[in-house]
Chain A
Amino acid sequence: MTATYDCIAATTLGSDSASVTFSSISGAFTDLILVMNILPLSTNDNLGIKFNSTNGPYGLIQVTGGGASPASNRGSNLSSITAGAIYDSAVTTHVFHIMNYSNTTTNKTMLYRYGNSSYTIVAGVIIWRDNSAITSISIAVNGGSNLSANSTFSLYGIKAE
């Protein structure tokens, strides 16, 4: 059987940490799947995600539920992607599907969704306005909080073959 869904790297935080980086990502796959299961910590905060350590420009549009009413918001020319969150009382699951990440001829797009049972559910799409192959992904906390110990981060490669 050909393996078409392969784990490239995985990290379980041994202690509270400000960031996680996947680097030297091989260009051997077609798409990437990033799965983050983030345990609660004392403060609510957003996750900022960057590719190849660049400050964008990134754009996104998303739909959000969980509050009093659904909402949609859009951002453009962002220096990092705020498309994830940590919360004080809920485990938050994030799944990103990054398409055609290794070509050098198009901007990169990805679908994402994250949510938890206490605060919010979000689905959206991101564009990185850059034709470079994605070789690193860094996930950091925007506001100075940490990612909680035992949170897990897994990066999978999908081959269309």
Chain B
Amino acid sequence: MALTYIAIATVTVGSGGAANIEFTSIPGTYTDLLLKISARNTGNASGQHVTFNSNSSSYAAKRLIANNGSTVTTHSGGTASLFALAVDSRATASAFGNAEVYIPNYASSNNKAASLDSVNEENGNTYAYDEISGGSWSNTAAITTVTLTPEAGNYAQYTTATLYGIKNTV
């Protein structure tokens, strides 16, 4: 039976923190990419940016966000990156956000789409969010690099990100 769900690389942030997490030289041998992130940043903003091939233009997104269990809002995303949640320094200590980014047909010559699901829960009332997002990168280049950047500050120690390749080989 073929292996179709394979870890390409994992990053765990060390004690000094990290300004970003980058997966480079991603081979084009898979069908889809799946990025799983457990993240906390040292700043005062509850998110992280996702960019491809070090490019900071031509992104778009629709976002649906539940905030503190009280409000649900919908927004359009910015053009410089895609966005997912990450717990920040104001949240309960040792809490980390979870995020998944699914990128189908990342090596194709079509424009790229992505699904982003992320959540921050910190057993408090202020910085809990749940977000789903549909994003795009209007670029026909194969994705060979994925970069994660905190919305503020650096990634805190113990932040992890794993990039999986999914093959639809029968």
**Could you tell me the distance in whole angstroms from the C-beta of A2 to the nearest C-beta in chain B?**
8
Closest chain B residue to A91 by CB distance? B113
Does residue B134 face the partner (Cβ distance < 8 Å to A)? yes
Does residue A114 face the partner (Cβ distance < 8 Å to B)? yes
**Could you tell me the distance in whole angstroms from the C-beta of A139 to the nearest C-beta in chain B?**
15
Does residue B77 face the partner (Cβ distance < 8 Å to A)? yes
Does residue B9 face the partner (Cβ distance < 8 Å to A)? no
Distance A140 CA – B1 CA, assembled complex (angstroms) = 30
Q: Per-residue CB proximity of A37-49 to B under 8 Å, as 1/0? A: 1010000000000
Q: Which residues of chain B have C-beta atoms less than 8 A from A113's C-beta?
A: 115, 117, 132
Interface size class of A (residues with CB under 8 A): 35 or more
B32, B64, B72 interface centre (most CB from chain A within 10 Å): B64
* Residues from 96 to 152 in A contacting B, C-beta threshold 8 Å: 113-121, 123, 150, 152
Q: Which residues of chain B have C-beta atoms less than 8 A from A69's C-beta?
A: 73-74
User: CB distance B64 to A7 under 8 Å?
Assistant: no
Does residue B120 face the partner (Cβ distance < 8 Å to A)? no
* Residues from 46 to 92 in B contacting A, C-beta threshold 8 Å: 59-65, 72-74, 77
User: CB distance A39 to B110 under 8 Å?
Assistant: yes
Chain B count of residues within 8 A CB distance of the other chain: 39
A70-B74, A93-B115, A121-B62 known; A35-B134 Cβ under 8 A: no
A93-B113, A115-B115, A116-B134 known; A156-B62 Cβ under 8 A: no
Does residue A19 face the partner (Cβ distance < 8 Å to B)? no
Q: Which residues of chain A have C-beta atoms less than 8 A from B104's C-beta?
A: 35, 37, 93, 152
User: CB distance B2 to A70 under 8 Å?
Assistant: no
CB<8 Å pairs between A and B, sample of 24: A6-B1, A6-B2, A7-B167, A7-B170, A8-B170, A35-B104, A37-B104, A37-B113, A65-B63, A65-B74, A69-B74, A70-B64, A70-B74, A91-B111, A91-B113, A91-B136, A92-B113, A113-B132, A114-B134, A115-B134, A119-B62, A120-B134, A121-B133, A152-B105
Q: Which residues of A contact B (CB under 8 A)?
A: 1, 3-10, 35, 37, 39, 63-70, 90-93, 95, 113-121, 123, 150, 152, 154, 156
